[in-house]
Amino acid sequence: MVAGIHDASAPAAHARSGIDPTGGGTVVSKPSKGASATAPGWPLPPVRVRALGYAAAGWCLGFAGVSAWQVATDLDGRPAVPHRYAAYASGLAIMGVLVGLFKLAGAAVALAAVRVRPGRPHRPPRLLGVALWGAFGLLALYSAGNLAITAGTVGGLLAPSAAWTAAGGVSARAVLYVLFFLVGAALFGVLAVWFHRRHQLDWASAVAGLAGAPLLLGLLLGVAPAIMAEWGLLPT
């Protein structure tokens, strides 16, 4: 009876100690920091976290849909009204498609963070963590820029720009626009923190994503339009 009990418990003891019970030596090692479990029964995130990921993806898809609608309806959603940039329709369409692709990529990142199990070879957690932090950084930086411009213009520190005058200053539409981006930044920020903790990523992933955010924003708002203008596709 005692021998039977000993034999039954031996594999469990060996498994805890990391020793192969068949005599093949040590086969179990502790995963390194940043590595992810690949067990078949890896549980999905809690419902509230999945809802957060779906909301972030929906935010991106809705934003991409607006861009697609604007491109399809002569870029500003008002085909019956003559557009002062009608001569640059091709360049504006190219920019709309470029930005739309980034929005679709953001939706894919948000869904992957809560739906795809960790450890898949085609979705390294570190790269996904960088993408989440980058999305948060880009949206937060853009929102902060809008708030700074608004505060500076209202306070008289900045002269009203053409876009500010055309929008009618601080209007309900302008406030909703800023709030829309603040919501997106909050969704990706919370998702990035959760993903970072769940996969025990090092802070290099967060630093890389946040450092890349201003570079990407500069590419979209500065470099790409400048290239288009050089080619005559956008106004200078």
Note the pLDDT tens digit of each residue in 156-190.
Answer: 788 877 667 766 777 788 889 899 999 999 999 99
Helix (H) or strand (E) holding 26: strand 25-26
pLDDT at 18 over 70: no
pLDDT-based confidence at residue 75 (cuts at 50, 70, 90): low
What pLDDT is recorded for position 153? 83
What pLDDT is recorded for position 159? 80
* Residue 36 located in a structural domain: no
* Residue 148 located in a structural domain: yes
Q: What is the pLDDT of residues 77-102, one digit of tens each?
A: 454 445 566 677 788 888 888 999 99
What pLDDT is recorded for position 139? 97
- Distance separating alpha carbons of residues 137 and 208, to the nearest angstrom: 10
Mean pLDDT of 106-115: 94
pLDDT at 121 over 70: no
* Residue 183 located in a structural domain: yes
What pLDDT is recorded for position 83? 57
* Residue 21 located in a structural domain: no
- Distance separating alpha carbons of residues 80 and 84, to the nearest angstrom: 13
Number of domains in the chain: 1
Domain of 81, in residue numbers: 44-230
What pLDDT is recorded for position 85? 63
pLDDT at 4 over 60: no
Three-class HEC string of 20-77: ECCCCEECCCCCCCCCCCCCCCCCCCCHHHHHHHHHHHHHHHHHHHHHHHHHHCCCCC
Give the SS3 label for residue 75. coil
* Residue 190 located in a structural domain: yes
